[in-house]
Amino acid sequence: MLISKGILSSSGMIPTFTSLTRNVSNKSKTAIVMMNMGGPQKIEQVYDYLHNIMTDRDMIQLPFAQDHMGKWIAKRRTPEVQKKYSEIGGGSPILDWTNKQGELLCQKLNEVLPNYGPYKHYVAFRYVNPFTKDAFQEIKKDGVKQVVLFSQYPQYSCATSGSSYNAIYNYLKDNDEMKDLKISVIDRWSSHPLLVKCFANLIQEELQKVSEKNRKDTIILFSAHSLPLKAVNRGDPYPSEVGTTVNLVMNELKYCNPYQLVWQSKVGPLPWLGPFTDEAIEGYVKQGKKSFIVVPIAFVNEHIETLHELDIEYCKELAEKVGVEEIRRVPAPNIQPLFISALADIVKTHFENNIPVSRKFLNQCPHCINSNCYNSKKWYKSVARF
């Protein structure tokens, strides 16, 4: 029997947050800018979304003529990706989840760190609206002067967090109207104990739903977005930081089950970091393994890569094809109370430590040749302050 957790189960497909308060007071003292890749809310946005990704040299380095090749790739992939979004309800729920997370985070911060409040969250997506400029135009309108740039990727990668920070640098570096902003940076939080405990609790809940005969031998597959090996060899810290989260979660679980870190969402023909999630499932089935729990360890909310790639392509279609007996997918943290407490504690500790930008963030990868990255980090070093 196939048991799949995800798209039509309690993790939900698209949340309906229709009455967000958004902490709309113009008297807010501190802006929490929540940075992520984003996702198209409508089918009509898919091409622009893909085009923005494929022409971003921080995200993907095509061998030549990136603007032209990126446009061609985006156009070619659009129908396939539109079909996937139609199968999860017609758009990505990531903006709704991020807004709800931001709302609850600011409520929590007003309780635990009132001296820097009131707080208001702003969403800065990289490839679809609301973009960086949208967030900062709203900050300007609200007159907020203290800004925390809070990456919503727990594990840092130059292609994800790095691209978002570079986009903010490019928008603000010559913007005299916003030169008085007090900017600080939260760039990674892969080892935060409450994040670890949140994932551990979610895994334990799914393990209890596995049949007793399979529970002890169920393999926990920690699935994270892969990275081109070229980026790994350049020194991108992402693989090691994902591994850190995995090891801490398993330590919290007292290594109760066999487990493996696997990688998903490979794009294009170049070599990427493996083993890949789908191939790992196939390989384990050939070894006689019957039961799996899939954990989206690098994702903090539901979106196309959990709701379609994991739930439909792997936990449903692939599992049926290769003869998996039981497979469950752990939901992303979304608005779990423990996860919201983690976000609040990260911001609180950030202020209490009085370190506006970490030295790790300011240090480039050993083989980095990206001048935009160099200039961006130099700029953050000069402007970051409380």
Q: Any idea which residues carry the catalytic annotation?
A: 192, 345
Write the CA distances from 262 to 227, 244, 279, 297, integer angstroms: 11, 14, 9, 10
Cα-trace Rg, the chain = 21
Say if residues 172 and 135 touch (Cβ distance below 8 Å): no
Where would I find the beta strands (DSSP E) of 181-304? Answer: 182-186, 219-225, 259-264, 291-296
Angstrom distance (rounded) from CA 14 to CA 7:
9
Listed in sequence order, the residues at least 6 apart from 284 whose beta carbon sits closer than 8 Å to its beta carbon are 219, 292
How many Å apart are CA 65 and CA 76, to the nearest integer? Answer: 16
Cα–Cα nearest to 123, from 115, 131, 114: 131
Task: Give the H or E element holding residue 377.
Answer: helix 371-383
173 SS3 class: coil
C-alpha distances in angstroms, 214 versus 204, 314, 315, 318?
Answer: 14, 19, 17, 19
Q: How many residues in total does the chain contain?
A: 386
| Residue 321: partners with Cβ closer than 8 Å, 6 or more residues away | none
C-alpha dist (Å) from residue 185 to 179, 195, 209: 16, 19, 40
d(CA 54, CA 366): 25
- Rounded to a whole number of angstroms, the distance between the first and last alpha carbons of the chain is 55
Token couple for 225: 């977005």
Strand order in 219-225's β-sheet?
Answer: 259-264, 219-225, 291-296, 326-329
| Inter-residue contact 185 to 384 (CB < 8 Å) | yes
